C-alpha cells in the first residue's frame, strides 16, 4: 500500500441519535479523552460521533456500520492512483473543516465505502 501513501486508520465515525447523551457515555462512562467537539481519542484513533439529526445518513445500530477514514500522505494523489487502477471513487476529494483537510472516498470490490483524508498543505 506504500504506493498509495496510506498511513493508518485515522477516524471511526459512529452514528448517534443524541449527541449529548453519546458524549456523556464516551467521556464520563468510558473515560475517553475529548478531542474536538463530538470526538474522543482512543489510542491513536479518533472516535467521531455523528448525529443523525445533523444530517448523518447512517443510523445507530447493533449491526456493523461505522465510517472508517484512512490517513494518507496526499488525498489528491491517492484519488488519481485509485482511478488509474479502476477503483470507483464514490466521493471526489474536497476540502472540509474550513479547508483544513482534503477528504474523499472510494468503494472496495464489495461496495464498502472507505474514506481517506490528508491535511491541506496550503
- Summarised one tens digit per residue, pLDDT across range 71-114 is 999 999 999 999 998 999 999 999 987 889 999 999 887 677 88
pLDDT value at position 2? 61
| Beta-sheet strand order (sheet of 89-96) | 33-34, 39-42, 45-51, 6-16, 67-72, 113-119, 101-107, 89-96
Q: Give the phi and the psi of residue 30 in degrees, each rounded to 5.
A: -85, -20
pLDDT at 116 > cutoff 90? yes
The rounded mean pLDDT for the chain is 86
Domain with CATH 3.30.720.120 in the chain: 6-52
Topology adopted by domain 6-52: 3.30.720
pLDDT value at position 110? 62
pLDDT at 7 > cutoff 80? yes
Say which CATH architecture domain 72-122 belongs to. 2-Layer Sandwich (3.30)
pLDDT-derived band at 3 (thresholds 50, 70, 90) equals low
Amino acid at each position: 500500500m506504500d504506493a498509495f501513501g496510506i498511513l493508518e486508520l485515522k477516524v471511526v465515525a459512529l452514528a448517534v441519535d443524541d449527541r449529548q447523551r453519546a458524549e456523556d457515555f464516551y467521556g464520563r462512562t468510558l473515560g475517553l479523552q475529548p478531542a474536538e467537539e463530538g470526538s474522543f481519542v482512543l489510542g491513536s484513533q479518533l472516535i467521531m460521533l455523528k448525529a443523525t439529526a445533523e444530517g448523518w445518513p447512517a443510523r445507530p445500530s447493533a449491526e456493523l456500520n461505522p465510517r472508517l477514514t484512512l490517513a494518507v500522505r496526499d488525498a489528491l494523489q491517492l484519488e488519481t492512483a485509485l482511478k488509474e487502477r479502476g477503483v470507483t471513487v464514490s466521493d471526489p476529494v474536497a476540502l472540509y473543516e474550513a479547508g483544513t483537510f482534503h477528504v474523499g472516498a472510494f468503494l472496495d470490490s464489495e461496495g464498502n465505502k472507505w474514506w481517506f483524508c490528508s491535511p491541506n498543505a496550503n
